[in-house]
Structure 1
Amino acid sequence: MATQYDAIYFNQSRLYGQIRMSESGLGWKATEKAQGGSAAKVSEPFLLPAKELLSAQWSRGAKGYMLRIQTKTSGVVQLDGFDAESFNSLKNALSNTLDLNLEAREHSMRGWNWGSTDFERNELVFNVGSRPDFEIPYSAVLNSNVVGKSEVAIEFKLQSASERTTGGDEVVEMQFYVPGTVSKDDSDGVKSEDGVKKEEEGEEPVEEQSAAVVFHEQLRARADIGMTSGSEIVAFADILFLTPRGRYDMDMYEDSFRLRGKSYDYKIGYNTIQRIFVLPKPDDTHNLVILQLDPPLRQGQTRYPFLIMQFLRDEDLETTLNVDDEEFNSKYNGRLEKSYDAAAYQVISNLFKGLANRKITFTGSFISAQNRPSVNCSLKASEGNLYILEKAVVFVSKSPVYIPFSEIATIQFSRVGGTVSSSRTFDMTITLRGTAGDHQFSNIYREEQQGLDTFFRSKNVKVKNEIVEEQKIFEAALEDVDSDIEMAEGSQDEESEDEDFDDDEESDVAEEFDSNADSDSEGEFDDDEGSDASNGSNKAPPSKKPKTKR
């Protein structure tokens, strides 16, 4: 007889459904009500045979109480959403139908961040005291790297686009501090003063290594980090990456590829590759192979939505796929070639094209004034090259930007500032649709303006050219000034002379500066001055008052 429970969440999913248990095993299926009638299209039923079951644990969960089932090959199965009263009935159902004992497991509630780790069959358990604090399933671990001397960073797999919650939070990375050293042979002994462990006096010293490195290697081995199902299809050594910067060995498998560097290793699925670009560098020596990723590659707090590889144009590469003829014909025929002998950038890009099932985007018909498919410019503080493609623009720098024409509202050309350099360059502002903001590309040479304007208009992109408008206003102002000057010159030519004006006729009245002025007038002024002087000479000066002593 089957036992059924409703409103149960499977592996922390946003969908709830029903769980049924019988002698053959257990199964879970999302209900149609969970997604408005479309749950059957979103989530597939999960079936677990009875022979796969190892143990069952009962503990507190995010949505009530959780049933954790350890399996042989399917990792840890988490079923959350049970009530506290369901423990007895669930224990009897597991015991009677599946012959499985349900163990109650209490977690530590101290909130400490210092404890010990235990690598169990399907998960990493962090213990505080004698109780587990939290568990990390190996299936949730995407990558692991040693940071510094005593820290290990664990990167988690991101949820798929259908499972993501808008505005929700998601744990993407966790760091463990693992101090000290341990011996490679895991033997017990006493550490000497020079940091070397010895079993007893007289025996040879045991080599020590960092405890963080040992923790990292154990996690990689159990979580299959660095290992992929099946053998590698092809491998390349010492590939130069501009983003993230460094040289990496690249191993390509059926579903993913790995980058192995000196400090970091990455595992990247082909399903995260959105676009592939092959673009020439302006130096006429190198070509770039660019992969756009979603979700982006993470390295600590830094995200890399683009991987940029650089190859010499005249560098040839010869390789043969590590697959037999039967496997090649059944899986890769029509997508890949059995062997390659061509330029390195062509071989790498064609391999990604076949394995990721994505088209390669090349340069378009745009040619700049420098006879190149790109123009030099700056985006904020980053200098780079803006490639004008047939359906998009790509700014290639340390932080590349991809802008399709379908998301562009307007493109505006403008000249900023009044300096000499502003007359040689201009700015191009790309405004995106909606509330996505804009991107201002500055310091573009003036010779590129006409070609960019013509190309964008041919692609039916709305363009506003302030430079041309300013030039028209300036020319109109010059025409107005010229017309005013012509009118002024014409009015002077049309003026007639005054017939009544005679410049030879002398004035009847003598001016004071005239040499023929009447001398009597001068005498009058002299008599007046003399009379004033004679009158003033008869008057005595006023007497001073005598001073009196007190």
Structure 2
Amino acid sequence: MMAAIESFDNIYLDLSKENGKCRFAENGLGWKPAGGGDAFTLDQSNIANAHWSRAAKGYEVKILQRNSGITQLDGFQQEDYERLSKIFKNWYSTNLENKEHSLRGWNWGKTEFGKAELTFNVQNRPSFEVPYSEISNTNLAGRNEIAIEFALAEGDKTNGHNGAGKGKGKRALAGKDQLVEMRFYIPGTTTRKEAEGGEAGSDADEEAKNAVTLFYDTLIEKADIGETAGDTIATFLDVLHLTPRGRFDIDMYDASFRLRGKTYDYKLQYEHIKKFMVLPKPDDLHFMLCIGLDPPLRQGQTRYPFIVMQFKQDEEVTLDLNLSEEQLNGKYKDKLLGHYEQPLHQVVTYIFKGLANKKVTTPAKDFTTHRQQYGIKCSIKASEGFLYCLEKAFMFVPKPATYISYEQTQSVTFSRVGGAVSALSTFDITVLLKNGAGSSQFSNINREDLKALEDFFKLKGLRVKNEIDEDANLLAAAMRDEVMDSSEEEVVGPKADRGSADEDEESVDDDFRAESDSDVAEEYDSNHESDGSGSQESDVDNQVDDDDDDDDDEGGKEAKAPPKKKKKTV
């Protein structure tokens, strides 16, 4: 006779950090953490199958639920198998199937789509399984390659079980290290019937397709990654994105939005949106919408903490949201309208604001450039873009999108970097962060914006260092330019020793004189004529030019030089 309740200690539920007590009874099972907290229960009517296998902390009982969820109980001892086998057979009318995993370590095998998980088999034995509830997204990463992204841990909730297994990322809280992406190389062609392990398919399904494409389509369907078209609240087609670069269709749902491109496909939760900015571009033709994400969007090894979209300022759109009157008057009351007929960038902004419930940030009204615009043209290293002064932060877009809050800023330094000539019209800003967090430099800013920026930073209470002695530098540069342009002694006379500045000037003058030797010689002659040499010397010059057309410059110099020497010796 079996006891009314069978108990097991030191059992871990779904890779939980803390162990607990697991109890089995005729009407179902339950688990409660040893340190106290929310208990998990599973009714016997929801138990479809059960597997026994070696696992991380001992032996594991994996329960496949009828509603496509999976429950993992790890930490059993080998001698518990007989006892558990009787429990499942007598109380739940289910065989506890003993499954042995492949330990060969091969990285090639065959994938199998189950009801609740994706299994990778090596020689007909499972090497590992991936529950669909842990998959957040998938992308075709190459011609025959597919990337699977795993859900990230959200918060410190221990499990958040509801029996349905729909909570994405609940197993990701198990430890500090986390698997975030896996890639499969899938060559060749196949049919849906083969891909799903022999399930019947329609005639259309039997048509051979690229195996990687079929894998991608099946995984999206099984893992419930893509919502159906009927769930879409609004869709915007072919929207230009500056970061990450490309054109994407935007599908907006109740709790998430999707970016669909030719190569990459992203699904992002509204709760991951931390900032939303609308930035007018200085060309007065476009608006940029900048979305700050945490965790950032990933494309392979590249992380994108900001998405930057671009819209034409005068592009109008008429849109009716796919929402009922009940929803508009209930859940979305005072957040969304049923009908929009406005510029496209405004409509996208309003819908994002209503669905994500995030404040829209715009540039500070206290600052404009000398052209009465909000964006300052500048660059970070070799990347050109625009710097915006917001009410509480700097924002540089489009790439690399950089956000620096004023609170984290220790000081702002204005400086000139580079040669004297290039530094006349531009300057650099270096933003030093607090607590040794580094610095950011914005280069090649128009000098006419210096005063307005300095006044704005002081208004925001920022510590400003101005290393530009503007009046002295401009005066010195202007005087030097004037001397270079007007003094003939600078060209033909002895040169003053001006240090390293002379080297730069010399190279410029050499280039200029090499290209125009004949012009310099003619100026010299005209000066000589003005001293009273008469017109006979000009006739001699012309005669020499006619005699030697092939070597014009040299002949001219040789003819002109002797009279000058005679004049000096007389």
TM-score class, shorter:
0.7 to 0.9
SS where residue 212 of structure 1 aligns? helix
SS where residue 311 of structure 2 aligns? strand
Q: Residue 14 in 1 paired to residue 17 in 2?
A: yes
Any residues of structure 2 matched to 1:462-501 within 5 Å, and which? 462-467=463-468
- The match for 1:171 is 179
Structure 1 residues 93 and 436: CA distance shift in structure 2, 3 A: farther
Larger radius of gyration: 1
Q: In the aligned structure 1, how far is the partner of 2:394 from the partner of 2:328?
A: 37
- The match for 2:6 is 3
Conservation of the 8 A alpha-carbon contact between 1:238 and 1:248? yes
- The match for 1:271 is 271
- The match for 1:432 is 433
Q: Residue 249 in 1 paired to residue 249 in 2?
A: yes
SS where residue 79 of structure 1 aligns? strand
Structure 1 residues 358 and 419: CA distance shift in structure 2, 3 A: same
Q: In the aligned structure 2, how far is the partner of 1:251 from the partner of 1:32?
A: 43
- The match for 2:353 is 353
Conservation of the 8 A alpha-carbon contact between 1:21 and 1:97? no
Conservation of the 8 A alpha-carbon contact between 1:143 and 1:154? yes
Aligned partner of 1:83 among 66, 77, 84: 77
- The match for 2:520 is none
Q: In the aligned structure 1, how far is the partner of 2:466 from the partner of 2:18?
A: 52
Q: Residue 134 in 1 paired to residue 128 in 2?
A: yes
Conservation of the 8 A alpha-carbon contact between 2:412 and 2:432? yes
Structure 1 residues 207 and 66: CA distance shift in structure 2, 3 A: closer
Q: In the aligned structure 1, how far is the partner of 2:318 from the partner of 2:292?
A: 26
Q: CA deviation at 1:74?
A: 4.5
Q: CA deviation at 1:85?
A: 3.8
Q: Residue 182 in 1 paired to residue 190 in 2?
A: yes
TM-score normalised according to structure 1 size: 0.75
SS where residue 17 of structure 2 aligns? coil
Q: In the aligned structure 1, how far is the partner of 2:466 from the partner of 2:88?
A: 74
- The match for 1:457 is 458
Which stretches in structure 1 are left out of the alignment for 5+ residues? 34-39, 188-205, 476-550
- The match for 1:413 is 414
Q: In the aligned structure 1, how far is the partner of 2:471 from the partner of 2:32?
A: 66
Q: What does the per-residue CA deviation read over 1:324-347, in whole Å, with 9 as the maximum and x for residues that have no partner?
A: 112322211122112211111111
Q: CA deviation at 1:81?
A: 2.9
- The match for 1:24 is 27
Q: Residue 143 in 1 paired to residue 133 in 2?
A: no
Q: In the aligned structure 2, how far is the partner of 1:435 from the partner of 1:27?
A: 50
Q: In the aligned structure 1, how far is the partner of 2:173 from the partner of 2:96?
A: 33
Structure 1 residues 107 and 207: CA distance shift in structure 2, 3 A: closer
Q: In the aligned structure 1, how far is the partner of 2:75 from the partner of 2:411?
A: 50
Q: In the aligned structure 2, how far is the partner of 1:30 from the partner of 1:430?
A: 49
SS where residue 139 of structure 1 aligns? helix
Structure 1 residues 173 and 317: CA distance shift in structure 2, 3 A: same
Q: CA deviation at 1:16?
A: 3.5
Q: What does the per-residue CA deviation read over 1:470-523, in whole Å, with 9 as the maximum and x for residues that have no partner?
A: 969x99xxxxxxxxxxxxxxxxxxxxxxxxxxxxxxxxxxxxxxxxxxxxxxxx
Q: In the aligned structure 2, how far is the partner of 1:70 from the partner of 1:229?
A: 29
Q: What does the per-residue CA deviation read over 1:107-161, in whole Å, with 9 as the maximum and x for residues that have no partner?
A: 1111001111111111111111121100011111122222333222212111224
Q: In the aligned structure 1, how far is the partner of 2:309 from the partner of 2:39?
A: 41
Q: CA deviation at 1:222?
A: 1.0
Q: In the aligned structure 2, how far is the partner of 1:228 from the partner of 1:79?
A: 33
Q: In the aligned structure 1, how far is the partner of 2:466 from the partner of 2:5?
A: 73
Q: In the aligned structure 2, how far is the partner of 1:446 from the partner of 1:255?
A: 46
Structure 1 residues 417 and 169: CA distance shift in structure 2, 3 A: same
Q: CA deviation at 1:300?
A: 1.7
Structure 1 residues 31 and 388: CA distance shift in structure 2, 3 A: farther
- The RMSD of aligned alpha carbons is 2.7
Q: CA deviation at 1:242?
A: 1.8
Q: Identity of aligned pairs, percent?
A: 47
- The match for 2:49 is 55
Q: What does the per-residue CA deviation read over 1:367-424, in whole Å, with 9 as the maximum and x for residues that have no partner?
A: 1222111211111221111100000110002220111112112222222244321233
Structure 1 residues 186 and 22: CA distance shift in structure 2, 3 A: closer
- The match for 2:152 is 158
Q: In the aligned structure 1, how far is the partner of 2:280 from the partner of 2:372?
A: 12
Q: CA deviation at 1:270?
A: 1.0
Q: In the aligned structure 1, how far is the partner of 2:31 from the partner of 2:400?
A: 44
TM-score normalised according to structure 2 size: 0.73
Q: In the aligned structure 2, how far is the partner of 1:166 from the partner of 1:57?
A: 21
Relative to its length, the structure with more helix (as a share) is 2
SS where residue 354 of structure 1 aligns? helix
- The match for 1:373 is 374
